[in-house]
């Protein structure tokens, strides 16, 4: 089964501890005008930016995730354009003021394709435009997720998440046990691969940009054991 086919249904529940509000407060005043949110998922950041007056487009490879995002925007009467597209194939009909990619989207791009992707983003921005994105750090993927097993139990779903650390990537196999009725569950499997990108490698791919890097949890100076890193790149 394809990635996010079942995860979309429970994504917001499973991401309940992600600090969308703090992240939004950190970036909102750095962005103005028209923007595109890549790998937008269920639309949490896209919608926050739209509510703040930005003209927004959300792009995601998962149609299931976009269905969730569309319903959220509709309930809030927000005019957001949702596009079902692989973000590495980004091609806009006019340049925009900013582009965002929140919550690990960059980790899904193989290192050999990262330069080409950043070049696409660069070409999609106006002069002075900003690209704000984050990554799960090398430390997090190698030393925390690595070859480890995680599990969590909710009212409607339980998952078992098994990781295997490879050469420059982590393979993630997730078994979902969805409650159907009473004590009856349906098992659904998903697989993901996240690529490990060092700060130095990312900066080398952003050589034509002005770049700042921040800790993705306290929004201050990054440390050796920062788990998430936020990059603010200006064209």
Task: Look at residues 152, 193, 157 and name the one whose alpha carbon lies nearest to residue 173.
Answer: 193
Domains assigned to the chain: 7-137+198-234 (3.40.50.150), 140-194 (2.20.25.110)
CA distances from 233 to 26, 127, 194 (A): 15, 12, 22
Q: Which regions in the chain score pLDDT beneath 70?
A: 1-5
Q: pTM for the full model?
A: 0.94
Tokens of 103: 């919550």
87/40 Cα distance (integer angstroms): 10
SS3 content of the chain, % helix, strand, coil (to 5): 30, 35, 30
What does the radius of gyration of the chain's CA atoms come to, in whole angstroms? 18
Specify the pLDDT at position 4: 60
Specify the pLDDT at position 16: 82
User: Angle CA(126)–CA(111)–CA(113) in degrees, nearest 5?
Assistant: 55
In this structure, the number of other CB atoms found within 10 A of the CB of residue 153 comes to: 9
Residue 201 backbone phi and psi in degrees, to 5: -65, -45
190/175 Cα distance (integer angstroms): 7
CB 47 within 8 A of CB 76: yes
Q: List Cβ neighbours of 22 (8 Å cut-off, separation of 6 or more).
A: 219
Specify the pLDDT at position 1: 41
CA distances from 107 to 91, 101, 134 (A): 20, 11, 9
Pairing between strand 96-101 and 125-136? Answer: parallel
């Amino acid at each position: 089964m394809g990635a996010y086919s079942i995860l979309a249904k429970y994504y917001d529940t499973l991401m309940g501890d992600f600090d969308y509000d703090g992240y939004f407060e950190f970036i909102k005043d750095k962005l103005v005008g028209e923007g595109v949110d890549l790998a937008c998922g269920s639309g949490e950041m896209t919608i926050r930016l739209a509510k703040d007056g930005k003209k927004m487009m959300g792009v995601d490879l998962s149609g299931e995730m976009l269905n969730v995002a569309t319903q959220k925007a509709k309930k809030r009467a927000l005019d957001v354009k949702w596009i079902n597209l692989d973000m590495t194939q980004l091609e806009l009909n006019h340049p925009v003021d900013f582009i965002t990619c929140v919550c690990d989207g960059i980790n899904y791009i193989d290192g050999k394709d990262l330069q080409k992707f950043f070049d696409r983003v660069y070409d999609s921005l106006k002069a002075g435009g900003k690209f704000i994105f984050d990554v799960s750090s090398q430390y997090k993927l190698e030393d925390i997720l690595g070859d480890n097993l995680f599990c969590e139990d909710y009212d409607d779903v339980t998952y078992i998440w098994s990781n295997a650390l490879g050469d420059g990537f982590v393979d993630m196999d997730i078994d979902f046990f969805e409650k159907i009725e009473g004590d009856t569950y349906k098992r659904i499997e998903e697989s993901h691969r996240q690529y490990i990108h060092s700060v130095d490698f990312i900066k080398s791919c952003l050589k034509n940009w002005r770049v700042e890097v921040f800790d993705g949890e306290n929004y201050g100076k990054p440390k050796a054991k920062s788990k998430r890193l936020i990059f603010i790149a200006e064209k």
